[in-house]
C-alpha cells in the first residue's frame, strides 16, 4: 500500500503539514510517514579564507568553524528527532494507526525523489523557514519538486482546516483528465462537495468533455456544482473560490509534457503563489 509522505521542518508551516497529512491518512486509510531532511550547512573552507587572512588566524578560525559545524550537525539531528517524535505522537493521538518517521541527510528534493515510488501522495507547506508567513513567496523547494516529481502533491497554507468542499479546475486536457481520474479512483476527496469549474477556451470539444466530467463525478456519488465561465483563468478561479467558500483546489500542473521544462503553467503558478487554501497539484 502506498503511503502518504509528509515533509516537515522547523518552520511554522510544519503544523499545517502535519494536520493535512493526518486528514489525508484518515481519508485514504493509508500509512503515514513524516520526513525530515537535514541539509548541509555551507561554511567557508580553507580556500575561501586563504586570500583574506593570515596563516595563523586562518588555522584558528578553521578549527572554530569545524567545531561550530559539528555542533550545528548535532543540534540539527536532535531537533529533527524531536520534530518527528512530536508529529508521530500527534498522528497516533488523532487515530492514525500506521505512522512512521524518517530522517535523512542531504538535499530535500533528492531525499524526496528517492522515496517517491513508495508514496501515493506528498504533503508539504507552501513555504518554509526562509519565507515564514509571506504567501506571495512560493518556497523554492515547492518549485523544484513540482518540476521533477510525478506523484500528486498537496500544498498546504499556513493554517490547515479539514476541507468540506473542493474545486476541480478542469480544462479537458490530459492533466485535468488525470486529476479527474484520481478523484474518482481513491477516497481522498470522498464526502466533499465538488465544484467543477471550466474557463472557456478554444478547444472545440471542451464543453462536451466538461459535461462528461460532470456526469462521471455525479455517477461516483459526488454532489456537483458545475460552472462554465469565461475570462482570465486565474482571476476567474480565484474569484469563484472566494465567492463559494471553496476549501481546497485541485489543479493540473502542466498544459502538456513539453512545458515541464518551464515549471508550471502560468495560471497554476499564480494560484499557488496567492492561494490561502490547500492546493492539490496533479501531473
Question: Quick one: average pLDDT of 238-244?
Answer: 93
Measured CA to CA, the distance from residue 277 to residue 115 in angstroms comes to 26
Give which of 141, 167, 169 is closest to 153, Cα–Cα: 141
- Of the pLDDT bands very low, low, confident and very high (cuts 50, 70, 90), residue 235 is confident
Per the model's pLDDT, the better-predicted residue between 263 and 239 turns out to be 239
Joined together, the cell numbers standing for residue 151 give: 506523484
Distance CA 281, CA 17 (A): 15
β-pairing verdict for 249-252 and 165-169: parallel
Residue range 163-205, pLDDT digits in tens = 999 999 998 888 888 899 999 999 999 999 999 999 887 777 8
Do the beta carbons of residue 22 and residue 96 sit within 8 Å? Answer: yes
**Sheet of strand 165-169: strand arrangement:** 99-105, 32-38, 3-7, 119-125, 153-156, 279-282, 249-252, 165-169, 193-199, 224-229
End-to-end CA distance of the chain: 20
Maximum Cα interatomic distance, the chain, rounded to a whole number of Å: 77
Domains 3-40+75-156 and 165-282 share a fold: yes
Q: Where exactly are the structural domains of the chain?
A: 3-40+75-156, 165-282
From the list 86, 91, 155, 151, the residue with the least C-alpha distance to 125 is 155
For the chain, what is the mean pLDDT? 83
d(CA 197, CA 251): 11
Q: Indicate the DSSP class of residue 191.
A: T
CATH class of 165-282: alpha beta
One CATH from 3.40.50.10860, 3.30.70.3270, 3.50.30.50, 3.40.50.620 for 3-40+75-156: 3.40.50.620
| Residue 250 CA: distances (Å) to CA of 3, 23, 87, 155, 240 | 20, 16, 26, 10, 13
245's grid cell: 467558500
Using one digit for the tens of pLDDT, what is the confidence trace for 19-59?
Answer: 999 999 999 999 999 999 987 754 444 445 445 445 555 56
Amino acid at each position: 500500500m502506498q503511503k502518504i509522505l509528509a515533509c516537515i521542518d522547523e518552520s511554522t508551516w510544519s503544523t499545517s503539514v502535519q494536520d493535512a497529512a493526518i486528514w489525508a491518512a484518515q481519508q485514504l486509510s493509508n500509512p503515514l510517514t513524516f520526513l525530515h531532511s537535514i541539509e548541509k550547512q555551507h561554511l567557508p573552507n580553507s580556500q575561501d579564507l586563504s586570500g583574506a587572512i593570515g596563516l595563523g588566524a586562518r588555522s584558528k578560525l578553521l578549527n572554530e568553524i569545524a567545531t561550530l559545524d559539528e555542533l550545528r550537525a548535532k543540534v540539527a539531528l536532535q531537533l529533527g528527532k524531536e520534530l518527528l517524535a512530536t508529529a508521530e505522537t500527534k498522528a497516533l493521538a488523532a487515530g492514525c494507526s500506521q505512522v512512521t518517521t524518517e530522517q535523512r541527510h542531504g538535499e530535500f528534493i533528492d531525499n524526496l525523489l528517492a522515496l517517491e515510488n513508495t508514496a501515493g501522495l506528498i504533503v508539504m507547506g507552501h513555504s518554509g523557514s526562509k519565507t515564514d508567513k509571506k504567501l506571495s513567496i512560493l518556497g523554492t523547494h515547492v518549485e523544484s519538486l513540482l518540476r521533477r516529481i510525478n506523484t500528486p502533491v498537496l500544498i498546504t497554507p499556513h493554517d490547515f482546516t479539514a476541507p468540506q468542499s473542493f474545486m476541480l479546475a478542469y480544462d479537458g486536457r490530459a492533466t485535468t483528465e488525470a486529476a479527474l481520474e484520481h478523484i474518482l479512483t481513491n477516497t481522498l476527496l470522498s464526502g466533499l462537495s465538488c465544484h467543477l469549474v471550466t474557463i472557456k477556451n478554444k478547444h472545440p470539444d471542451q464543453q462536451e468533455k466538461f459535461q462528461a466530467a460532470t456526469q462521471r463525478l455525479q455517477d461516483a456519488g459526488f454532489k456537483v456544482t458545475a460552472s462554465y465561465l469565461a475570462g482570465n483563468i486565474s482571476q476567474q478561479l480565484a474569484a469563484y473560490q472566494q465567492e463559494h467558500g471553496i476549501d481546497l483546489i485541485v489543479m493540473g500542473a502542466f498544459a502538456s509534457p513539453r512545458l515541464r521544462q518551464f515549471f508550471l503553467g502560468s495560471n497554476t503558478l499564480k494560484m499557488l503563489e496567492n492561494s490561502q487554501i490547500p492546493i492539490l497539484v496533479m501531473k
